[in-house]
Structure 1
Amino acid sequence: MSNSPAVIRFPCASCAGPMVFDAESQNLKCQYCGSEQQIENAMKAPVEHPFHNLSEQLDGLQDWGTEQQAIHCDACGGETLIPAGQTTSTCVFCGSPKVLGQANVRSIRPESVIPFQLSRDEALTSFAAWKKKRWFLPNGFKRANVSSQLHGIYIPYWTYDTETYSIYSAEVGIYHYRTVTRTRVVNGKTETYTDTERYTVWHSTRGDYDRSFDDILIPASGHYDGTLLEKLGDFKLGELIGYKPEYLSGYISERYSISRDEGWERAQAAADSTLDSEIRRKIGGDEIRNLRIRTTFDQVTFKHLLLPVWNANYSYKSKTYYYMVNGQTGTVSGRVPRSAAKIALFTLFCLGIAGTIAWFFLSNPEYFSS
C-alpha cells in the first residue's frame, strides 16, 4: 500500500501536505512539515443505539464522515475500507497482490473508537520482547531481527448492553458424611478399619435472577483467528471516545463481516454463559443437576466500534507466519515457528518425571493401602 493517500482528506494548514493520526501526540500530524492539528471534540462520549426498531435511523448511522471504498482480497477473503481515491496493491492481512475494489456497500459506521496508542516502532519492540519469552522457538529465530510487513488496522467490534430477567429451577445436592466399617488385606492378613463415606442428599430449588450487562464485546471480524483475537482482547473500553474520521487518517479499517444481528446472537450466548455461572453460585450446594434457565432480554442497545491493532506477516524458512499487537496496550498474539528439538527434549523430560513417579509407587505398594 502507498504510504501517502492519493486523495488528501486532511490537508496541512501550513504546507497542504497530508496529515495522519499520530499515536504519540494523539493529534493529526503532517507527513511533510511535522505540523500538528488538534482533533476537535475528541472526548465526545460514545452513544448507545437501540437494537430494535432501528430502520429509520440507519441512513444517519452510515455516514463515515468521509467517502470510503471497500477492498476485497481473493486470496484470504479479507475486506478493508480505505478512503475513496486511495489505492492499494497488496492485502494488509496476508500480503497477497490479489486485491480488487468492490462496489460501495452500505454499512453502519463506527460509533466509538480507541485511537492507536502505540507507534509502529513500539509495536515491533513489543513483538521482539514477546518472542524472546517463547520457550519452543528456534534459537536462531529468537535472536534474529524479524522483518515484518506491519500495518495499522482498526478491527471492528460490536458491543451490546441489555437488562436480563431469568427464572430457573434445578436440583441441588448437598454432601453428607458417615462412618463405615471396612476390611482390607495387609501382608496376607485381614484387618478391619473405619472409613468416612460421602453421600449426596438432593432437593429441588427454583428462583429468579436480575442482571444488567454493559458492553458485551463481540468481534465483528470474520477474517481473523478467533483464538488470536481473544488473546489480544485486553482493551480498556473505558477509554472509548466518539468516532471521528481523523482517527483513521493514515490507517486502514477492516469492514465488519459479522452482522449486527449475528453479533447479538453471540452476545446472548455470552450472556447466557455468564448467567449460568452466576446462578449456579447463587444456588450454591455441592452439586447441581437438571438446571433450567429461561431468560428475557430487554432494553437492548448496541454500538459499532473500532479497536486498534498492528497486524503483521513475516517469513521464516520459506513459511509465512502472522502476529498482531494490541495498538492500545501492547499485548502480542501470534503464530510462530516451533523447534522440534526443544519440543522433543521437553517431552522426554516429562516422560522421565512420569516414569520416576510410577516407579516409586510400584516399588512402595504400602502407599496404596494406607
Structure 2
Amino acid sequence: MAQTSTQVVCPNCGGTMQFDPTAGKLKCIFCDSLFTQEEAEAFFNQQNEEEEIKESGSDWGDLAENMRAYSCNTCGAEIICDQNTAATKCPYCDNTTVIEAQFSGAIKPDFVIPFSFTKEQAMEKYKGYYEKRKLIPKDFLTGSKVEEIQGVYVPFWLYDGSVNIDAEFEAADKTETDKEIIRKIYKADRRGTINFENVPADASKRMPDDIMDSVEPFTFADLKPFSMTYMPGFLAERFDVEGDDDLQRAEKRVVNSAKQKTKDTVKHDEVTEKRGDYKVNYTKKKYAMLPIWYLTTSWQGKQWNFAMNGQTGKFTGDLPIDNTKLGLITGGSAIAAGVILYLIMKSLLVPVVAALIVALVVCFSLKGSMRPVHNATQANEYMDKNVKLVLSNDTYLRTERKQKQQNNSSSGG
C-alpha cells in the first residue's frame, strides 16, 4: 500500500507551488501567485481537514526492506524511493512530492534554513567556480552536466553546550644579546569554560561528510521553525544517522577550538601545552534541514561531487588536474625564478636551489586550489570568541641562558 504524499497547491488556481528563494515565498508555477508560509500552511491544513487521505490499491509485492512506495497527488503515479527520502520529484509529472510521514511526530525537524539561491544562480556559481581553475582538463567541462544540479534539504544535527577546561602550559619569553639567548620560563595554569551553539554535523549517510563540512559556515540566525511549505521545489531526506552517533564529529571540533583559544590566553613568546583536560557537556540537540545545491558527475571512471551552500552561496568540490598544464606552469615559474637570480648573482648553486623551491611551492599551491574539500577540525564560527577563565596564573620558574656560537674571522698560528 502506498504511503501518503502531498503537493502544496495554489489557493487561486490549484496549480503546484514551489518555494521561491528570491521572493522568500511560495510561488505558483502556473499563475505566478505568491503566498507567505503562514498563508500556505493555513490553506494546506484546511485541505487536510476536508479531504480523505488517498490510498493506492496497487500491490508492489515485496519491496526491498529499505524501499517505500508513495502516491503522487498530482498525477496519481506511485513512486518508489528509499525509506529516508522526504521529498522527491515524480518522474511522470516532474512535480515535487513531499512525504508527510517523514516530517511528522518524533522525526519532525525542529528548524529549517530556506534556500536563498535559485537553480540558475547555483549553475552560474558552479561555472564561476571551475572557470577560475586553470588546471582543469577541457574534456571534463564538456562531460559535466551542470544542468543536473539539484536543491536538497540535507538533515543536520546541531549541538549546543560548553567545554570545561583545565590546562597547564610551559611558556617562555625570549631575548637575545650579542653573546647569548635568554629564555625566562613560566608555568601557565588555565581553568575555565567556553560555550558553543549550533555546531553542525550532517545526518545523511549519502552525503559525504567532507563535502558538507566544506560548505560551512552556515548563519544560524536565519533558522526558522520547520514548515513543509519550504519543501516544494526541492528534494529532501530524513536523517539516517542518529544524533548520538554524530556527537564525536562535533566533539572533536569544539575540543580543538577550545585548545587553541585557551592557548591564545597565554601571552608569551613561546607556548607549549603540557597537560590538558577538555570535557564537553552537551545541553541541547536540534534537528534541522539545511539547504544544499548538489551535483554529481562522472569523468574517467571516477565520481566528482560538488556542493553549494544554499544559504551563503559558498561552492566547493575537488576538481581533476591536467598534469600537462601543471607541469608547464610549475616549470615556467621555476625557470623564471632561476634565471632572474642567476642574472643577479652570476652563480648557479643558489638559483638552482631557489628554482626547485619555487617549483615545489607553486606545485603544491596549485594542487591545493584544485582539491579544497576537507573534514572540518575547528568550530570557531559556532563558539564564544573568548574562554571564560576562572583561573589564569603564570608562575615564573627559571631563566635559561645559551651562548651564541661565535664566527672566527681569522685563525692564529
Q: TM-score, normalised by structure 1?
A: 0.69
Letter paired with 1:27: K
Instruction: Please identify which structure carries the higher strand content.
Output: 1
Kept in 2: contact 1:132–1:142 (CA 8 A): no
Q: Secondary structure at the match of 1:148?
A: helix
Paired residue for 2:320?
337
Paired residue for 1:252?
235
Which segments of 5 or more consecutive residues in structure 1 lack a partner in the other structure?
A: 1-5, 43-68, 73-77, 90-100, 181-196
User: Superposition pairs for residues 228-307 of structure 1, below 5 Å?
Assistant: 228-298=211-281, 300-307=283-290
Between the aligned partners of 1:317 and 1:149, the Cα distance in structure 2 is 19
Question: C-alpha root-mean-square deviation of aligned residues, in Å?
Answer: 3.8
Paired residue for 1:137?
136
Structure 1 residue 218, shift from structure 2 partner: 2.4
Kept in 2: contact 1:308–1:328 (CA 8 A): yes
Structure 1 residue 305, shift from structure 2 partner: 1.2
User: Superposition pairs for residues 32-47 of structure 1, below 5 Å?
Assistant: 32-40=30-38
For residues 237-258 of structure 1, the C-alpha deviation after alignment (integer angstroms, 9 at most, x for no partner) is 2211111111112322233343
Between the aligned partners of 1:135 and 1:30, the Cα distance in structure 2 is 41
Residues 1:333 and 1:364: Cα distance change in structure 2 (over 3 Å):
closer
Residues 1:341 and 1:210: Cα distance change in structure 2 (over 3 Å):
same
User: Superposition pairs for residues 28-107 of structure 1, below 5 Å?
Assistant: 28-40=26-38, 80-83=84-87
For residues 51-96 of structure 1, the C-alpha deviation after alignment (integer angstroms, 9 at most, x for no partner) is xxxxxxxxxxxxxxxxxx9769xxxxx9742359x7569xxxxxxx
Q: Secondary structure at the match of 1:348?
A: helix
Between the aligned partners of 2:83 and 2:328, the Cα distance in structure 1 is 42
User: Superposition pairs for residues 152-191 of structure 1, below 5 Å?
Assistant: 152-180=151-179
Instruction: Please identify which structure carries the higher helix content.
Output: 2
Bigger shift: residues 268-277 or 144-153: 144-153
Q: Secondary structure at the match of 1:253?
A: strand
Between the aligned partners of 1:39 and 1:309, the Cα distance in structure 2 is 20
Between the aligned partners of 1:262 and 1:287, the Cα distance in structure 2 is 38
- State the number of aligned residues: 303
Paired residue for 1:27?
25
Q: TM-score, normalised by structure 2?
A: 0.62
Letter paired with 1:240: L
Kept in 2: contact 1:162–1:297 (CA 8 A): yes
Residues 1:173 and 1:27: Cα distance change in structure 2 (over 3 Å):
same
Kept in 2: contact 1:79–1:254 (CA 8 A): no
Bigger shift: residues 122-131 or 350-359: 350-359
Between the aligned partners of 2:240 and 2:112, the Cα distance in structure 1 is 18
For residues 286-341 of structure 1, the C-alpha deviation after alignment (integer angstroms, 9 at most, x for no partner) is 22334322234446112111111111123557765332222122222123333232
Kept in 1: contact 2:169–2:189 (CA 8 A): yes
Q: Secondary structure at the match of 2:306?
A: strand
The percentage of aligned residue pairs carrying the same residue is 23
Residues 1:107 and 1:199: Cα distance change in structure 2 (over 3 Å):
farther
